[in-house]
Amino acid sequence: MGRWGDWVTKRRRDNKKKMDKELNIEDFKKNFKSDILEIIEKNPRREIITIKSESILPVAKWLYKEAGFRFIIASALHTKRGFEIHYHFSLDSLGLILNIHVILDKVKPEIESLSNMFNASNWIEREMHELFGINFLNHPNQDKLISEGNWAEGVYPFRKEFKSDQEKR
């Protein structure tokens, strides 16, 4: 390493003061007591919190701006309960993955977009709109991401009722 050693900066993790400052999950539970429907603590580094779908915007704002969480990705699911989305947030200083879980309407799934707050969710919301038909309100650009120009409108391949041509035969 030698002369390039000084480029190697010290990790943020070592800086204890900053870690204390970063708010913990307990504060989250206190702040959003009325929005939380269910909490599952799988292990110290994984937590699943089900919230009301209309409170996603304040929750995400608090996580991103106040507590320093990073948005990893969101996973949509089509289940018996309707459409579900797991928003995966990571708090890198603690190695924590927080799954914010919402359940949407069976017939008309829609939820507020997070893309006006951070760009990280822009593509995945477009993708979920395209594959599951979930509508993201106030999304800057809900154009198709993957199948532009070669896929029928209103046909959503990741819904459970979707059958491919091969399966239909």
Partner 1 sequence: MSKKTLIPIGPYHPLQEEPELFKLYCDGEIVKDIKWETGYNHRGIEKLSESKTYEQVFFLVERICGICSTSHPFAFANAVEELADIEITNRAKYIRSIIGELERVHSHLLWVGLAGHFLGYNTLFMWAWKYREPVLDLFEMISGNRNSYAMFKIGGVRRDIEESKIPAIQKVLGDVKKKTDMLVGAVMDDPVIHARTKGVGILTKQDIIDYGAVGPTARASGVAIDVRKDDPYAAYPLVNWKVITAEAGDVFAKAQVRLLEMYESISIINQCLEGLKKEKEGEITVKVKEIPEGIGNGRAEAPRGEVFHFVQSDGSNSPARHKIRAPSYVNIATFRKSCIGQTIADATLSLAAVDPCYCCTERMAVAYDVHSGEKIMNASELICKSAKRTNEIKKKFRI
AA identity, residue 151: W
Return d(Cα 2, Cα 46) in angstroms, integer: 39
SS3 of 48, please? strand
State the nearest-atom distance from the C-beta of 111 to partner 1, in Å. 17
Report the site for partner 1 in 118-157 (rule: CB under 8 A).
Answer: 118-120, 122-124, 145-148, 157
Contact present, 28 and 62 (Cβ < 8 Å): yes
Whichever of 21 and 42 has its CB closer to partner 1, that residue is: 42
Q: Contacts with partner 1: how many residues (CB under 8 A)?
A: 40
State the nearest-atom distance from the C-beta of 72 to partner 1, in Å. 5
Return d(Cα 93, Cα 90) in angstroms, integer: 9
∠ CA 35-80-121, rounded to 5°: 55
Which of 86, 110, 112, 156 contacts partner 1 by CB under 8 A? 86
Which of 23, 36, 57, 77 contacts partner 1 by CB under 8 A? 77
Question: Hey, what are 14's tokens?
Answer: 């070592």
Which of 9, 152, 153, 168 contacts partner 1 by CB under 8 A? 9
Whichever of 2 and 30 has its CB closer to partner 1, that residue is: 2
Residue whose C-alpha is closest to residue 143's, from 157, 126, 131:
126
Q: Does 23 bind partner 1 (CB under 8 A)?
A: no
State the nearest-atom distance from the C-beta of 29 to partner 1, in Å. 19
| φ/ψ of residue 26, rounded to 5 | -65, -40
Return d(Cα 43, Cα 46) in angstroms, integer: 5
Q: Which residues contribute to the site for partner 1 (CB under 8 A)?
A: 1, 4, 7-9, 11-13, 42-43, 45-46, 48, 70-73, 75, 77, 86, 88, 90, 92-93, 95-97, 99, 118-120, 122-124, 145-148, 157-158
